[in-house]
Amino acid sequence: MKLEGASVLVTGGASGLGEATVRRLHARGARVVIVDRDVKKGEEVARSLGERASFVAADVTSAGDVEAAIARAGETAPLRVAVSCAGVGWAARTINKEGAAHDLELFKTVIGINLIGTFNVARLAAAAMAKAEPLDDGERGVIVNTASIAAFDGQIGQAAYAASKAGVVGMTLPVARDLAAVGVRVMTIAPGTMDTPMLAMLPEPARAALAAGIPFPRRLGQADEYARLVEHIVDNRYLNGETIRLDGALRMPPK
């Protein structure tokens, strides 16, 4: 897909995987809308890119917020790409060592942001893309979601997180089939242990231990490696309805 002159929307675009994606697709000539709850960081990223970049503060679980962000994206060019990187992680056992049950509201919150928020973005982006003029092969747009290898290898304490990401994987094919009629492709990336701002807060011995468990290359994944995969998905029109693991052959142990 030709990104020059197209609009791209990236949730969670103020940092980590989302920011790397914003920068890579912007470099390809796209008009990028950065969607995030962190106003300060979001505005900083937009300013650093200058022309063809803007920031919209939004909660991905809010229909109104996402509709406003998509409307912003469509102001100057058709929305062709939507990438969902917004998400949260939380560790809690189903029953903790004291015998107390997992907090139900916490479970709902993780599902709400990671799964429902991702679907909210996908459904509204697809509705906007369906109105655009078709490109080569009748393609109108591409939606890229973010899961995690926890969807397949959930560890102890990851019931909420793994369930939310497994939901993203599970909806990839049916949503792709739903949107085939309007020429919108849907793909999901399941990253492994990536060197994001969250992991940057860990002490170096802990980071080294995580890297040592990865078969090859024996290091943490880089945000730009995620962004490059997004770029390839956008360019490769035959990729549709699938989840790609990006993990250096890592299979997570129970803990």
pLDDT in tens, 192-227: 999 987 777 667 887 788 888 899 999 999 999 999
Domains of the chain are 7-192+223-244 (3.40.50.720)
Which of 55, 107, 161, 226 is an active site residue?
A: 161
8 A C-beta contact, residue 30 and residue 10? no
CA 104-106-107 angle, 5° bins? 65
Residue-by-residue pLDDT tens, the chain, 255 positions: 889 989 999 999 999 999 999 999 999 999 999 999 999 999 999 999 999 999 999 999 999 999 999 999 999 899 999 999 999 988 899 999 999 999 999 999 999 999 999 999 999 999 999 999 999 889 999 999 999 999 999 999 999 999 999 999 999 999 999 999 999 999 999 999 999 877 776 678 877 888 888 999 999 999 999 999 999 999 999 999 999 999 999 998 888
8 A C-beta contact, residue 82 and residue 185? no
Q: What is the pLDDT of residue 97?
A: 93
Give the containing element (helix H, strand E) for 11: strand 7-11
- Is residue 226 annotated as part of the catalytic site, yes or no? no
Cα separation, 233 vs 184, in Å, equals 12
Cα separation, 185 vs 71, in Å, equals 20
Q: What is the pLDDT of residue 207?
A: 76
Q: Kindly report the pTM of this predicted structure.
A: 0.95
